[in-house]
Structure 1
Amino acid sequence: MKIIRRGTLRAALVTSVAVTALLLAGCSGANGANTANGSGAGSDSTAASGPWSYKDATGTTVKVDHTPKRVVVLNDIAISFIEYGLKPVGTFGQLTMAKDARFKGLDTDGITQLGEAYGDIDLEQLAALKPDLVVTSVYPKDEQGTLDDTQPGYGFKDLEQQKQIQAIAPVAQVEWGGKGEDVITTIADLAESLGAKESTVATAEKRFDAARDDLEQVTKEKQLSVVSMYADGDGAYVTRPSDEPTLQMYSSFGVDLVNPKPKGFYWGIYSWENAGQITGDVILLSQQGYQVADLEKQPTFADNAALRAGQVHSWTFPALDYASQADYMQQLTGWLEDSKQLS
């Protein structure tokens, strides 16, 4: 069933961005998006030409005397901006654009990579870009969605680095928690306020709706359990679906996502001695950390049914925009169609 998410309320919020703060709640796709240096506002853009302000997830109202054109963005959100026709001048995050599968097929020409790893941000390089705005995310610290103001925004090494970045350009933080569709709407509204074309977003939303319908259909036809996990030398980490916006959204679309047994927020952590407790018909394995060949070397996990059946697929943490999610849901639908129940 079509869910009304945007429409007139969204338009009213974005249009008024020049005079009031947007009240917003808050981590590869359409390759045909039109991009340009700066924000690339189009004829149907809802960006205002005067002063710009934005009330971010921390309650801070970020103000710029013009619509920001030179924007540096955390890679999770940079992908979404590119999909919506905006081109950041710089990006940072856990992975470089070259190593992040989500950037495959996207136009990254002219975007400066500001570091090689999490917290690795070249401040001199950042200053040289003369950004109008830096955009990152902030994660809740518990199931209640509490934000920890003693910690820096995501991608920043520490509060001292965050202060140094804020001395170069104002920083806006988007909440990466709660309902996935709410985060998607937040990012779409922010992108439109910065110059993304409303028609570009609307086209992506239609693709999202179609992909959602296909995913809902396959979950009704096939009773399959799905595990989202990350692994490294210390053990296996199974994502708690309710604490990850994308997985929360997939659960609402009917995907049977496995809840980890160990207590804790976001992750259920299994030592390799206990990794045999992880069960599911399909595994979504993080693009970071151990991959299939590494899992096959773990004595307590090598006989995992999904691993033995070849039902392991890459979990890229698809960006929370309509286009990226449409692409990943199409892939997930295909994987589920081709998978069999193992238990």
Structure 2
Amino acid sequence: MLVVTLPRRPLRTVLATVAVACALVLAGCTGGSDSPTQPDGDGGGGGASGWSYRDATGSTVRLDRAPERIVALDDVAISLVRYGLHPVGTFGRLPIEQDDRWSGLDTTGITDVGSTPAGATAGDGSDGIDVDRVAALHPDLIITTVAPVDAAGTLPEDAPGTGIADAEQHDALADLAPIAEVRWGGDGVDVLRDVAGLATSLGAEQSVVDAAETDFDRAAKALESETRDHDVRLTAMYADHDGVYVARPDDDPALQLWASHGADLTVPGPKGHYWGVYSWPNAGKVGGDVLLLSDEGYQVDDLERQATFADQPALVAGQVHPWVRPVFDYASQAAAMEQLTGWIAASERLER
């Protein structure tokens, strides 16, 4: 399924904090010894220069050797596993067994340390991260993400990081291990490269990364070819009781990536970072030949009950497909683009 990062708190109050992806800077790194994060076989030895990583906030994590026991946000952890690594713990929106993005991956030995459901806020009784469970894993490094709050790429000041409830929880986790934050905003290709670079610094085999990148390039060319021959417009959206939220392609790394390979994506009229918001009285203005509908809000049955949206052409034609949170490794994005290409090929251009 296709993917989008949506806010962890109510959409009305945190629309600007949703997913998007820019570049973080990798400093000199060396491989570690065989460990839970290392691929099968010889993972290499820690070098005398140690391991360092400059994250999105400008902070540099320095360790004597490459971290071996990693706890990571699911958006990142899934990519690490696809690159042949094995974190000891993960956290995110859903437990592993409920998140289809883990399907087919070996999760043996990966502890789920807590989840924060969509719409949850700090202190509202949601499970969130269990700090004691993290402590029991004796992590060397904790990885999360941070999203810009405007088109200029400004990061929120003192944000705890995706999936971390608040500053107090951040500090409790930081007492256990350094926290590195990946910038989740900007050009999608930069995010792909950054995550791949992080993975190789942690011990992923370059040949695994290269093979996945080859598949990605093939999928990108197929998408470009299909979009040249088939002119349909895609609308990436979320909906709830307040209205329809159409994602701005330049503010979402996955959408930006697909657009760079030919996908024609709706640019919403209403101003705002990431989302263009249409109240239900104005929802009839939302166009598109194909709807990419977030799986975290209203679904087709709900939309069909909205008088101002029920006759939306793509909805009537049944050209609606799921849009779920992004994973930024080459294999995951290759699969997403292959699926998108198939949907475009099977869709018709509707009256606009």
TM-score range, shorter chain: 0.7 to 0.9
Does 2:129 align with 1:121? Answer: yes
Counterparts in 2 of 1:280 and 1:203: CA distance versus 1, 3 Å: same
Residue equivalent to 2:4? none
Does 2:282 align with 1:274? Answer: yes
From 302, 312, 330, give the equivalent of 1:322. Answer: 330
Residue equivalent to 2:212? 204
Q: How far does residue 154 in structure 1 lie from its aligned partner after superposition? A: 1.4
- Between stretches 150-159 and 223-232, larger displacement belongs to 150-159
Q: How far does residue 101 in structure 1 lie from its aligned partner after superposition? A: 2.2
- Between stretches 260-269 and 109-118, larger displacement belongs to 109-118
Does 2:230 align with 1:218? Answer: no
Does 2:46 align with 1:38? Answer: no
Instruction: Give the Cα separation in 1 of the matches to 2:170 and 2:75.
Output: 18
Q: How far does residue 108 in structure 1 lie from its aligned partner after superposition? A: 1.7
Q: How far does residue 262 in structure 1 lie from its aligned partner after superposition? A: 1.1
Residue equivalent to 1:10? none
Counterparts in 2 of 1:37 and 1:117: CA distance versus 1, 3 Å: farther
From 132, 136, 139, give the equivalent of 1:131. Answer: 139
Q: How far does residue 98 in structure 1 lie from its aligned partner after superposition? A: 2.3
TM-score, length of structure 2 as denominator length: 0.85
What percent identity do the matched residue pairs reach?
50
Any residues of structure 2 matched to 1:74-113 within 5 Å, and which? Answer: 74-113=73-112
Residue equivalent to 1:153? 161
Instruction: Give the Cα separation in 2 of the matches to 1:137 and 1:93.
Output: 11
User: RMSD in angstroms over aligned alpha carbons?
Assistant: 2.0
Kept in 1: contact 2:234–2:292 (CA 8 A): yes
Q: Which amino acid aligns with 1:310?
A: G
Kept in 2: contact 1:235–1:275 (CA 8 A): yes
Which contiguous aligned blocks of 4+ residues in structure 1 show a shift greater than 4 angstroms?
42-50
CA shift digits 1:68-103 (9 cap, x unpaired): 111011111111111101111111112222222212
From 302, 312, 331, give the equivalent of 1:304. Answer: 312
Structure 1 runs not aligned, ≥5 long: 1-12, 20-35
Kept in 1: contact 2:29–2:66 (CA 8 A): no
- Between stretches 139-148 and 292-301, larger displacement belongs to 292-301
| Greater RCO, 1 or 2 (C-alpha within 8 Å, sep 6+) | 2
Counterparts in 2 of 1:220 and 1:46: CA distance versus 1, 3 Å: farther
Kept in 1: contact 2:36–2:86 (CA 8 A): yes
Instruction: Give the Cα separation in 1 of the matches to 2:206 and 2:27.
Output: 11
Structure 2 runs not aligned, ≥5 long: 1-24, 123-127
Does 2:172 align with 1:164? Answer: yes
TM-score, length of structure 1 as denominator length: 0.87
Residue equivalent to 2:10? none
Counterparts in 2 of 1:250 and 1:289: CA distance versus 1, 3 Å: same
Q: Which amino acid aligns with 2:113?
A: L
Counterparts in 2 of 1:331 and 1:54: CA distance versus 1, 3 Å: same
Residue equivalent to 1:287? 295
Q: What number of residue pairs does the alignment pair up?
A: 315
Instruction: Give the Cα separation in 2 of the matches to 1:143 and 1:106.
Output: 35
CA shift digits 1:283-338 (9 cap, x unpaired): 11112122222222222211111111111111123311100000010000000000
